[in-house]
Chain A
Amino acid sequence: MIHQQGNRFFFNVDWITVLIYILLCTIGVINIFASIYNPDKVIGIDFTTNYGKQLIYVITGLVLGLSILLFDGRLFNVFSPFIYGATLILLVVVLVIGRKVAGNQAWIPLGSFRLQPSEFAKFGTALLLARYVSTFNPKFRDFKSIFFAGLIVAAPLLLIMLQPDTGSALVFLAFMFPLYREGLSGYFLLIFLGMIVLFVADFLVPTYILVIIISTLGGLFIFANKRKQKVVFSTILVTLIAVGYLFLVKVAYTKVLEPHQRTRIELMLGLRTDNKGAGYNVIQSQIAIGSGQGLGRGFLQGTQTKYGYVPEQSTDFIFSTIGEEWGFAGCAVVIGLYIFLLLRLINLAERQRSTFSRVYGYCVACILFFHIFINIGMTIGIIPVIGIPLPLISYGGSSLWSFTILIFIFLKLDSNRMGFI
């Protein structure tokens, strides 16, 4: 069996996904080069610069990915609890000995390299979740299965919250979608959506007006269904919870969130304008992207990004370089590639015979999706500033390697799809 798999190795790997992976990494290197480009300094391949380092990360990443393809796919299933456990330990370790960067205790220094455990916690969690679902085959109709799945996700999430790295923690919400695919009620997604809507509405409209609106809607619904006792009861419950949530948001907002987080949310909601302070990043990023217009200023011609108007240029705000130098056309190509990748990953996941592979595939796609949506949304001002990288494009070894591992494990599982794991 193992022998056979080795023979079919090249036929079964989805090379289209690998191609998109390489394309996105290349786009990343080119744009990191552009964002640090200085016409006064002669540039060869210089491995001390960010783009030189990124080149090394890409090459080592590719080697790492290809070597993952050489593993026996079953190992990931077997070792998933250990990998999950190891990432949890790293998350605890980082809280103890980690280095603070920009207020977040997220990095473990390893020589000249800094390890970011939260990046690796993603695939650890994805593996264990896949293992749990494939082993117990729960349909998430009962409290127990939801509780265990939730626990697997919540443990790393809470540890990351302690760093505190809200952005990375937020990505763990992506695991809701694989669970939904496996049977979790769509109501959970709706409730989640409702929570976001109410949260935003709570800032834009006075709370008492929202309370009146919700109570009226609840009242009307009860009136329409007054003969069905069960419906009346649950409607009252939902209405009460919603109203309670509104007040909770207000309290949590002032008591729990850090001032800079509050500022970011207010900026995003347009409740506050601030061109120089916290709003500077978003405004400058939007200016840079907008000034690219249709076809962009051209490679290395960006002024906003090159002259340091956009901060964190090659990491979280790399998309603004793409927007400025390549314009709407370039943005559309990048987003197009991402969406193609995501849709393909879902299709690949659906063709798996093993539940483990399918759940894991969904996890990969949805984690990527969260990163892409939050990162791009942040640079164009439709999401508050949350510092998470743009997959495969942003500068950074931890991030690039963790996405590489995520994707290539799935490609390995996919190349094994005919076998049973």
Chain B
Amino acid sequence: MDQLFNRKYVVQGLFIVIAIILLGKLFYIQIVSDKAFVSAESNVLRKIYKYPARGAILDRNMKVIVQNEPVYDLMVIPNEVKPFDTLALADALGLSFEDIGKKLRKSKIQSNYQSTFFERQISVESYARLQEIMYRFPGFRTQDRTIRHYPDSIGGQIFGWVKEVSQDDIDNSDGYYRPGDFIGKSGLERSYENYLRGERGVINTLYDARNVAQGSYAQGKYDVNAVSGDRLISSLDIRIQKLGEELMQNKVGAIVAIEPSTGEILAFVSSPTFNPNKFVGKNWGNSYMDLIRNPYRPQIVRPIQGYYPPGSSFKPVDALVALQNGAINPTTTFFCPGYYVAGNHKVKCEHVDGTINLQRGIARSCNTYFCHVFQNIMTQNGIKNQRNTYSKWHEQISKFGFGQKLDIDMPYEKKGKFYTADYYNKLYGNRWGYTTVISQAIGQGEITSTPLQMANVMAAIANRGYYIKPHLIKGIGDNHTVKKEYTIKNSVGIDAEYFQPVIEGMRDAVNSPWGTATLSRIPNILMCGKTGTVQNPHGKNHSVFIGFAPMDNPKIAIAVIVENAGYGSTYAAPIASYMVEKYLTDSVKNGRMAEVEWMKNQNLLPDLITKIKKPKVFKVDSLNLKKTDSLKKLKDSAKVKSANAVKLDKTKVLSQENKNSTKVQGNKR
């Protein structure tokens, strides 16, 4: 044969090369890259999401304190939109003609084929009007969801905010959240998000190229019904929570009440507070601006974020440790000339008490007595060992919860300040002793605590030796489960026998003529308590009362702090007494209601000028926004407002002009 025969291989080789090229490209688009697969899904699949109702929150008596309210969103699938009567839609929604176009463009940018928000939370009136004319707007549909409602408008800081998820939330959720989902941003809503949120439902529908629904995807195999969130039972008692918020109005401070036997928080008041109903849905932004403009900083959750020196309320703890260590016994007396000399400085006592024993020392809140107690504790192992002794003492005091988080079921709890020996060693080397830190004997100086910690100390004393970590939720879901950590008894390391003299002293403080907390006396109820007047370097002293009642088999432990109110006995003690009486007997009796009303009307808000000049350094973790951001937003919102005002006028004119022509267009279709 001629050599042209070999050309067969050229031709056949070309066939094979081309086949390999085709297979190579196929291999890439079918196996290597999943781009096509994803695009195919988005071509045919439309997911309609069903939003679950968030779990409700009840109080301890099963009264609803947080519930849901339906709201309606207008959704749009831009690709399905056909020319429609823009003006009619604008009318129904109360928007301007231009807004409709703007929103449609925004939706298109998000997704042409998937359902996106056109207008969030349209009013009930708009919803009703739309229902009748919806058929005129193909591509649009309404979607109902629920937002929070608080029937008693209480507990703003407790429950926290529910908002739409941010991009960060979505990124950190392993694909759980989608744009438009709600999430608990603070408070209990955040702590219990996983229980409250429920499960989102989804219906997968197949659509053909002309956007006609072709039935469910895979026979509904991947469809999910929405499951409502778990119901939470709070430990709060709505009656005293409400009373507490009212008593604290126009005052800055906090009230925490705990049931000692269970650690359940009965009242959790942070003042000033805010109406949580203003922070639902799309009102959040404006309300939040108002909130951060408030110089008294209602966004701080004072029961767990406010730092206050415990003051005289620290004395019972000090006494207990001294008794446990044998540094004193119940009959130990000291002499009070009206002051105590520590090294080169004096600690003043409010009174000249003379020779005074433990029980009376607590009732009279004698500073001298407790400086001696502290001196005895510190020098018990010799003056040279006092720094080691301080360490041991620190450890014992810490067992009451000072200087550490109590792990309440709320985010952003603070732990207070209570320094170790190491801290002072670093500060002073070994040139420090009990006289250096003597002010801690009376709960002043470097030690600070949160109102929650103070109330918890009272719970531990009321229980004669242990506490259960305070918490706000006592039952989750249908089975009323409670987290295990809230069932464990935490011993404070003091034998039960030592409590009697201390508790008697606290009883006397309230119920004896020589007590310092007599204004908290409650008819027919034996309350034990302790006032504190906390020196405030920035202004008037803070008024503090801590206590529990009744003396035997206590049902409630309480801490009340009223900032800049002066003596503890004047405001904090009576407020505590009303709260306790209301809780134990369901009412405030014997003509004391008038006092309650008087108290409610007291305005003890501190002077703003001093307040602004020397702001307290609270760390505000619950606010993720920085101040500069908020200022910027403030300006922006002002701009928007004025722009809207102008727009509104324009729209009116425009809509009148366009009305006739638009109607004609509408008929043509």
A interface residues, Cβ below 8 angstroms from B: 177, 180-183, 186, 284, 286-294, 303-304, 306-309, 323-324, 327-328, 331-332, 335, 338-339, 342-343, 346, 350, 362, 365-366, 369, 373, 376-377, 380-382
User: Are A290 and B29 touching (Cβ within 8 A)?
Assistant: yes
Q: Which of these binds chain A: B10-18, B82-90, B147-155, B539-547?
A: B10-18
Residue among B11, B18, B43 with the most chain A CB within 10 A?
A: B11
Q: What's the nearest-Cβ distance from chain B to residue A225, in Å?
A: 27
Tell me if B30 is interfacial: C-beta within 8 Å of chain A: yes
User: Are A343 and B12 touching (Cβ within 8 A)?
Assistant: yes
What are 7 A-B interface contacts by the 8 Å CB criterion? A180-B10, A293-B37, A294-B30, A338-B19, A343-B15, A350-B5, A380-B29
Flag B207-242 by CB within 8 Å of A: 1 or 0 each. 111100010000000000000000000000000000
User: Are B30 and A331 touching (Cβ within 8 A)?
Assistant: yes
Q: What's the nearest-Cβ distance from chain B to residue A233, in Å?
A: 29
Q: What's the nearest-Cβ distance from chain B to residue A413, in Å?
A: 17
Q: Which of these binds chain A: B20-28, B95-103, B120-128, B592-600?
A: B20-28
Residues of A within 8 A of B627 (CB): none
Tell me if B206 is interfacial: C-beta within 8 Å of chain A: yes
Closest residue of chain A to B9 (Cβ to Cβ) is: A346
Closest residue of chain B to A368 (Cβ to Cβ) is: B15
Residues of B within 8 A of A324 (CB): 40
User: Are B21 and A308 touching (Cβ within 8 A)?
Assistant: no
Closest residue of chain B to A382 (Cβ to Cβ) is: B25
Tell me if B632 is interfacial: C-beta within 8 Å of chain A: no
Residues of B within 8 A of A332 (CB): 23, 26
User: Are A290 and B209 touching (Cβ within 8 A)?
Assistant: no
User: Are B206 and A350 touching (Cβ within 8 A)?
Assistant: no
User: Are A290 and B208 touching (Cβ within 8 A)?
Assistant: no
CA distance A308 to B31 in the complex (A): 23
CA distance A3 to B460 in the complex (A): 118
Residues of B within 8 A of A339 (CB): 15-16, 19
User: Are A304 and B40 touching (Cβ within 8 A)?
Assistant: yes
Residue among B23, B36, B208, B209 with the most chain A CB within 10 A?
A: B36
User: Are A346 and B40 touching (Cβ within 8 A)?
Assistant: no
Residues of A within 8 A of B479 (CB): none
Task: Name 17 extra pairs, CB < 8 A, besides A335-B26, A366-B11.
Answer: A180-B10, A183-B4, A290-B36, A290-B37, A293-B34, A303-B43, A306-B208, A307-B207, A307-B208, A307-B214, A309-B43, A328-B30, A331-B30, A343-B16, A346-B11, A380-B29, A382-B25
User: Are A376 and B44 touching (Cβ within 8 A)?
Assistant: no
Residues of A within 8 A of B19 (CB): 335, 338-339
Q: What's the nearest-Cβ distance from chain B to residue A340, in Å?
A: 10
User: Are B30 and A376 touching (Cβ within 8 A)?
Assistant: no
Q: Is the interface of B mostly helix, strand, loop or mixed?
A: helix
Q: What's the nearest-Cβ distance from chain A to residue B243, in Å?
A: 62
Residues of B within 8 A of A342 (CB): 12, 15
CA distance A382 to B18 in the complex (A): 11
Q: What's the nearest-Cβ distance from chain B to residue A252, in Å?
A: 26
User: Are B30 and A323 touching (Cβ within 8 A)?
Assistant: yes
Tell me if B661 is interfacial: C-beta within 8 Å of chain A: no
The one of B8, B29, B214 that contacts A289, using a Cβ cutoff of 8 Å: B29
Tell me if B35 is interfacial: C-beta within 8 Å of chain A: yes
Given A181-B4, A287-B39, A335 contacting B30 (CB threshold 8 A) = no
Q: Which of B284-323 contact A (CB under 8 A)?
A: none
User: Are B11 and A286 touching (Cβ within 8 A)?
Assistant: no
Tell me if B7 is interfacial: C-beta within 8 Å of chain A: yes
CA distance A303 to B46 in the complex (A): 13
User: Are A307 and B22 touching (Cβ within 8 A)?
Assistant: no
Tell me if B33 is interfacial: C-beta within 8 Å of chain A: yes
Residues of B within 8 A of A343 (CB): 12, 15-16
CA distance A308 to B211 in the complex (A): 10
User: Are A309 and B206 touching (Cβ within 8 A)?
Assistant: no
Residues of A within 8 A of B10 (CB): 180, 186
Q: Which of B234-293 contact A (CB under 8 A)?
A: none
Residues of B within 8 A of A327 (CB): 30
The one of B7, B22, B41, B43 that contacts A335, using a Cβ cutoff of 8 Å: B22
Q: Is the interface of A mostly helix, strand, loop or mixed?
A: helix
User: Are A293 and B30 touching (Cβ within 8 A)?
Assistant: yes
Closest residue of chain B to A301 (Cβ to Cβ) is: B218
Q: What's the nearest-Cβ distance from chain A to residue B216, in Å?
A: 12
Residues of A within 8 A of B210 (CB): 308
Residues of A within 8 A of B7 (CB): 180-181
Residues of A within 8 A of B33 (CB): 290
Residues of A within 8 A of B29 (CB): 286, 289-290, 380
Residues of A within 8 A of B36 (CB): 286-291
CA distance A324 to B37 in the complex (A): 10
Q: What's the nearest-Cβ distance from chain A to residue B11, in Å?
A: 6
CA distance A298 to B7 in the complex (A): 41
Closest residue of chain A to B26 (Cβ to Cβ) is: A331
CA distance A186 to B11 in the complex (A): 11
User: Are B40 and A307 touching (Cβ within 8 A)?
Assistant: no
The one of B4, B25, B30 that contacts A292, using a Cβ cutoff of 8 Å: B30
User: Are A307 and B209 touching (Cβ within 8 A)?
Assistant: yes
Closest residue of chain B to A324 (Cβ to Cβ) is: B40
Q: What's the nearest-Cβ distance from chain B to residue A280, in Å?
A: 10
Q: What's the nearest-Cβ distance from chain B to residue A353, in Å?
A: 11
CA distance A109 to B35 in the complex (A): 43
Given A180-B11, A181-B4, A362-B11, A289 contacting B30 (CB threshold 8 A) = yes
Residues of A within 8 A of B18 (CB): 369, 373
Closest residue of chain B to A303 (Cβ to Cβ) is: B44
Residues of B within 8 A of A304 (CB): 40, 43-44
Q: What's the nearest-Cβ distance from chain A to residue B296, in Å?
A: 56
CA distance A361 to B46 in the complex (A): 52
User: Are B44 and A328 touching (Cβ within 8 A)?
Assistant: no
Closest residue of chain A to B41 (Cβ to Cβ) is: A291
User: Are A346 and B8 touching (Cβ within 8 A)?
Assistant: yes
CA distance A185 to B67 in the complex (A): 87
Closest residue of chain A to B27 (Cβ to Cβ) is: A328
User: Are A377 and B22 touching (Cβ within 8 A)?
Assistant: yes
CA distance A377 to B208 in the complex (A): 26
CA distance A335 to B210 in the complex (A): 32
Residues of A within 8 A of B43 (CB): 284, 287, 303-304, 307, 309
CA distance A26 to B31 in the complex (A): 26
Closest residue of chain A to B5 (Cβ to Cβ) is: A350
- 8 nearest CB pairs, A to B: A290-B36, A291-B40, A307-B208, A308-B209, A290-B29, A328-B30, A303-B44, A287-B39
Closest residue of chain B to A331 (Cβ to Cβ) is: B26
The one of B12, B26, B35, B37 that contacts A346, using a Cβ cutoff of 8 Å: B12
Q: What's the nearest-Cβ distance from chain B to residue A18, in Å?
A: 20
CA distance A373 to B18 in the complex (A): 7
Q: What's the nearest-Cβ distance from chain B to residue A39, in Å?
A: 8
User: Are A287 and B4 touching (Cβ within 8 A)?
Assistant: no
Q: What's the nearest-Cβ distance from chain A to residue B546, in Å?
A: 68
Residues of A within 8 A of B22 (CB): 335, 373, 376-377, 380, 382
Closest residue of chain B to A366 (Cβ to Cβ) is: B11
CA distance A286 to B35 in the complex (A): 10
Closest residue of chain B to A349 (Cβ to Cβ) is: B8
User: Are A382 and B21 touching (Cβ within 8 A)?
Assistant: yes
User: Are B26 and A287 touching (Cβ within 8 A)?
Assistant: no
CA distance A177 to B25 in the complex (A): 25
Residues of B within 8 A of A286 (CB): 29, 36
Residues of B within 8 A of A292 (CB): 30
User: Are A303 and B11 touching (Cβ within 8 A)?
Assistant: no
CA distance A292 to B30 in the complex (A): 6
Q: What's the nearest-Cβ distance from chain B to residue A354, in Å?
A: 14
User: Are A328 and B15 touching (Cβ within 8 A)?
Assistant: no
Residue among B5, B37, B40 with the most chain A CB within 10 A?
A: B40
Q: What's the nearest-Cβ distance from chain A to residue B221, in Å?
A: 13
Residues of A within 8 A of B12 (CB): 342-343, 346
Q: What's the nearest-Cβ distance from chain A to residue B153, in Å?
A: 51
Flag B393-420 by CB within 8 Å of A: 1 or 0 each. 0000000000000000000000000000
The one of B23, B39, B207 that contacts A291, using a Cβ cutoff of 8 Å: B39
